[in-house]
A and B are shown apart, each in its own frame.
Chain A
Amino acid sequence: TAGITQAPTSQILAAGRSMTLRCTQDMRHNAMYWYRQDLGLGLRLIHYSNTAGTTGKGEVPDGYSVSRANTDDFPLTLASAVPSQTSVYFCASSSPGSYGYTFGSGTRLTVV
């Protein structure tokens, strides 16, 4: 089934450790996004990429980095995790002009 695969599904991470959340899509969509979801705050954009080789900052980029080496993969890295990064992370993709967004199933991250 075409779509977005996120890994891991959930993770408990010690504060100060680094971690990479993986996101892979098989729809050849140009644009990809990372959101975090927090209770009462909805989903907020962390970083985005309009096409392979380019990235941009969203609303809440601090403490996160991304790369887009190819069309299919868009990993999100936490260099030194802090408890405030405890959240559910969603990866999404879209094809410009289609106005359709596909979301992954999410990664639940707990930083302790």
Chain B
Amino acid sequence: AQSVTQLDSQVPVFEEAPVELRCNYSSSVSVYLFWYVQYPNQGLQLLLKYLSGSTLVKGINGFEAEFNKSQTSFHLRKPSVHISDTAEYFCAVSSGGGADGLTFGKGTHLIIQP
């Protein structure tokens, strides 16, 4: 079985400040890791994913994440946030090539303060 823990349900950050959204996972097998963003009243959009190779993954909108196998973490970072980054962010894990779908964390609400 696999699971995902997003340690913060809500993260307030001032505009232009850096942010880190934390994600830890557990799995007995190799995993593939994802971050999705959900803007208000919209569906899910893929920010980035880690499948293999370099542990630092760059995604859209200036976000990046680092896979740390020893700490079973996949934290999401952005060096300078904007008001438009206000959204819900979900970390997710998959153990296979899509057969059993994604297991999601409970989400982190990123609140950008002017």
Contacts and interface: CB of A to CB of B under 8 A. Distances in A.
28 contacts: A30-B98, A31-B99, A35-B101, A35-B104, A40-B9, A40-B106, A41-B106, A42-B6, A42-B104, A42-B107, A43-B44, A43-B90, A43-B102, A48-B100, A50-B99, A90-B43, A90-B44, A94-B97, A94-B98, A96-B99, A99-B98, A100-B46, A101-B34, A101-B98, A101-B101, A103-B43, A103-B44, A106-B43
B32 interface: yes
Interface in A17-57: 30-31, 33, 35, 40-45, 48, 50, 56
Interface in A58-112: 58, 90, 92, 94-101, 103-106
Interface of B: 6, 9, 32, 34, 42-44, 46, 49, 51, 90, 94, 96-107
Contacts of A100: 46, 49
Contact of B101 (A40, A48, A105): A48
Given A42-B104, A42-B105, A43-B104, A96 B43 contact: no
A74 to B, nearest CB: 12
A90 B104 CA distance: 13
Contacts of B46: 100-101
Contacts, number: 68
Given A31-B98, A45-B101, A92-B101, A104 B106 contact: no
Interface of A: 30-31, 33, 35, 40-45, 48, 50, 56, 58, 90, 92, 94-101, 103-106
B98 A42 contact: no
A57 B99 CA distance: 12
B4 to A, nearest CB: 8
A90 B98 CA distance: 16
Among A41, A95, A99, the most chain B Cβ lie within 10 Å of the Cβ of A99
A71 B99 CA distance: 15
Contacts of B9: 40
Contacts of A97: 97-98
A30 B44 CA distance: 20
A33 B104 CA distance: 13
